A = this chain, B = another copy of it.
Amino acid sequence: MTDETPSFEARLKSDAQAVESLLGTLLGPAPLENEIARPAVLLEAMRHGVLNGGKRLRPFLVAESTALLGGDAGAALRVGAALECVHCYSLVHDDLPAMDDDDLRRGQPTVHIAFDEATAILAGDSLLTYAFDIIAAPETPLSDRQKTALMLALARAAGHGGMAGGQALDLAAERMAPDEAGIVTLQAMKTGALIRFACEVGAMIADASVDDRRRLRAFGERIGLAFQLADDLLDLTADAKAMGKATGKDAARGKATLVALHGQAWAERELERLVAEAEGLLAPYGARSNILAETARFIANRRS
């Protein structure tokens, strides 16, 4: 593994700024056509849940996988913003007292702390709904065929058969520890599905070949696994300050993770293996895929 180059960090940052700027506009005070009103407190809670200094990793993956295959950057930006709304809705709901009961997220009070539980539930609901609005809207420069396929793929990645289902399995895992296959399924759903979508969607935006789509999907699966392994390692080793949220919670809850099952040394080897596989999948694209390859390493090596 090489160090991250300055250009990668700069690109991650500038892509994050672009998507935050768009999200700020999308969550502005003026109602769009057919919106009756934008209730101020709800909108403020949605903004609090979204405009919170996240890394914007998923929109970055959308932008870079789209760029790799020559798709429209403006479309990728809007799809990335929509995906970030889905990701942030899931954080707002996961943080609720009935779920993970977290008071802090990236060093800031979570939405139900800054507002109240009811508002946090509705802000999450509204962000999820808005994601489909953003994709379907005429401002997104994709064909209706692309938009329909994309919304179907997003719904499958986010719903009961993907992210939301993974969170349900995660809650059940606190009562009865799953076996290794159960952990793999849980993680593929809870965090893997959206990351896989973020990569695969680039091929959809670019109207690329079936082979390109399969390749980006497989790449997304590898880095999704790497993301979760790195996350589990971080929960074990990082301190709360660096993470901006509580750590050590997995062990405290006796939560089953692959790291808990196989140990830290195994996890670090597995991370290297996943990154190598991810890089291998990008090999046909040559130097054009450097940014995505660096993203895979960034995900595996992240310390916050």
Contacts and interface: CB of A to CB of B under 8 A. Distances in A.
A14 interface: no
A98 interface: yes
A153 interface: yes
A171 B119 CA distance: 9
B125 A128 contact: yes
A122 B38 contact: no
Contacts of A42: 160, 164-165, 168
Interface stretch (A71-79, A132-140, A207-215): A132-140
Contacts of A59: none
Interface residues of A, number: 64
Interface stretch (A15-23, A27-35, A242-250): A27-35
A240 interface: no
A67 interface: no
A164 B37 contact: no
Contact of A36 (B116, B153, B165): B165
Contacts of A143: 144
A130 interface: yes
Contacts of A83: none
Interface in A84-143: 89, 93, 96, 98-99, 116-119, 121-122, 124-126, 128-130, 132-133, 136-137, 143
A130 B144 contact: no
Interface string A147-165: 1110111111111111011
A46 interface: yes
A31 B185 CA distance: 13
Interface of A: 31-39, 41-43, 46, 89, 93, 96, 98-99, 116-119, 121-122, 124-126, 128-130, 132-133, 136-137, 143-145, 147-149, 151-162, 164-169, 171-172, 185, 188-189, 193
